[in-house]
Amino acid sequence: MVGVDRQSSWELRNNLRKFSGQVLHVVRDNSLLRYRVDDSGRILHEKVEQVQRKWRSVVTGDPEKKVRDYMHEVPQVKFIDKLSFLFGVTSIAFSEFLVLRYPTYFTQFYYILMAILMVNRYYQYKEEKMTYFLIDLCYFMNVSVILQTAFFPNALTWYKTNYVLCMGCLMLAIIIWQNSLVFHSLDKLTSFFLHAMPPLTLHLYRWELIPSELFSEDPTDKMLTWTDTFFWPMVMYWTWQLGFTYLIEYPFADNLLKDQELMYSVRYLVRDKKNGMNIIVTKICKYVGIMKKDEKLDSDSAKTKITFAISQFVVTLFTLVITPVCYSNYYFSFVYIVSIYMWCIWRGGAYYIEVFSERYKLKFTTEDYKDTKDKSEYEVGLDDPELYSQIYAALSQEESKQTSNGVKMSSRSEVHISHHQKTQVTRQVLTNRKKNNSTSSRQQSLSDGLEVTEVEFEDDHSSSTSSSDV
């Protein structure tokens, strides 16, 4: 021991009396311990549970919440949420402005909006291991609409095919996938615009609010035949389905097999037991005997993939039935689009009212915690002469060091040390200082594993924690 001879436990306690009130934080075996020197020179040991609760309360505001969980917790109100809210409201308002005043420029706005949202979604899905969702039908149809309106504006058959699939499949997907217009969530906004913008764009072309040369004097141009409604849309649909199956079964197969956390539409639907499509498909398969009563869907099995491919085809085919009426009747088309948009807004409003109302109620929930400085939190520490000697040496050295600097050691000082070469932790002594002056000392090592990493002096007995993994 440097500068300190071995002393008896009684002598050490007697010497420690002058350090009455000092608080020491000790990290041992990755556990946090808290010691305090009382008036008689005894070292009182605070219970680990109390220490953990205290640190959790200081960092997270909740003694029951782990610091690790808190660090990964998304704040209730973030800058990105505010920015997303502004972006969403502005986009809706600007869309309305263009539709009513300058519909000619709506297509360009649609291109720019989707480009921004898709770039953001790619990086978001990449981080969340959901990149393979980007090969779903809704993304395919957005690409098809952009290519047709931008480079082949007079291709009537292609336009009709896009119209049928967008007004049928994409519009009703808003309900099937339960999209909601929640302005502060960029993810929910993206899902809404992904399904809502292509049908609205094609609706404006159909009723010539956006000037084009799509329609001639031929009356069949302004109506959907059986071929327009089912044949060509199914050709496009199966083109996508076969391409989707090829990508999942060959280029992406190894990655999907190795990493079960990677998500795509079939795997998501199979694992979401509460999803309506999952429930219906499971019941039908068990009813017709495709699945046994106790059998569960397996997203990696060929049977499940074929079952969901057929199910999606049937649903898609069903959604096309309403499109001829939309194509031939402006008022029906208008009510149809507005009704689905209102349903989406309703779900968004329900989210804000139900979720945020619960958060508002939390304002009225209070809990009384005991004073963290209550002596009942402490119990007498072990009579470990070596521990006493180390603490006394550390405090004595700190006292002599501050005396040479002309600073008196405060009774409310806190010292963070490590215990007997097991873990290094920051030791910090906090005292009054005059005129906001601070003094720092370089790292110095004590024998037997005690290490001083930083010393700071603060006004008003304020306490701070130095950088250490506690």
| C-alpha–C-alpha distance, residues 435 and 172, integer Å | 68
Residue 36 has pLDDT above 80, yes or no: no
Domain-ending residue, one of 332, 362, 392 = 362
Structure tokens at 200: 């609205």
Is residue 447 situated within a structural domain? yes
Domain boundary among 318, 341, 362: 362
Same domain, 242 and 180: yes
Question: Quick check: 164 and 323 in contact, CB under 8 A?
Answer: yes
Give 93-136 pLDDT, tens digit per residue. Answer: 999 999 999 999 999 999 999 999 999 999 999 989 999 999 99
338, 362, 386 - which closes a domain: 362
**Number of independent structural domains in the chain:** 2
pLDDT at position 74 is: 47
Q: What is the mean pLDDT of residues 22-39?
A: 65
Q: Is the per-residue pLDDT at 283 higher than 80?
A: yes
Q: Are residues 94 and 189 in the same domain?
A: yes
Per residue in 65-83, pLDDT (tens digit) is: 665 555 445 454 467 788 8
Cα–Cα distance for residue pair 336/326, rounded to 1 Å: 8
Residue environment code for 251-261, b if the CB has 16+ CB neighbours within 10 A, otherwise e: ebeeebeeeee
Same domain, 349 and 378: no
Note whether 343 and 442 are same-domain residues. no
Share of the chain above pLDDT 90, in %: 47
Q: Are residues 177 and 98 part of one domain?
A: yes
List the single range of 63-72, 202-211, 300-309, 338-347 with lowest mean pLDDT: 63-72
Whether 89 and 216 map to the same domain: the answer is yes
Do 157 and 165 meet the contact criterion of CB atoms below 8 Å apart?
Answer: no
Residues 219 and 162 in one domain: yes
Q: Is 78 exposed, middle or buried (0-12, 13-18, 19+ CB in 10 A)?
A: exposed
Q: 320 with 200, same domain? A: yes
Handedness of CA 314, 315, 317, 321 (dihedral sign): positive
Higher pLDDT, 31 or 249: 249
Is residue 143 located within the same domain as residue 276?
Answer: yes
Same domain, 389 and 353: no
Helix (H) or strand (E) holding 389: helix 385-404
Could you tell me the residue range of the domain that residue 128 belongs to? 79-362
If pLDDT is split at 50, 70 and 90, which confidence band does 387 have?
A: low
pLDDT at 176 over 50: yes
Cα 463-469-470 angle, rounded to 5 deg:
65
> How far, in Å, CA of 133 to CA of 136, rounded?
6
Flag whether 4 is in a domain.
no
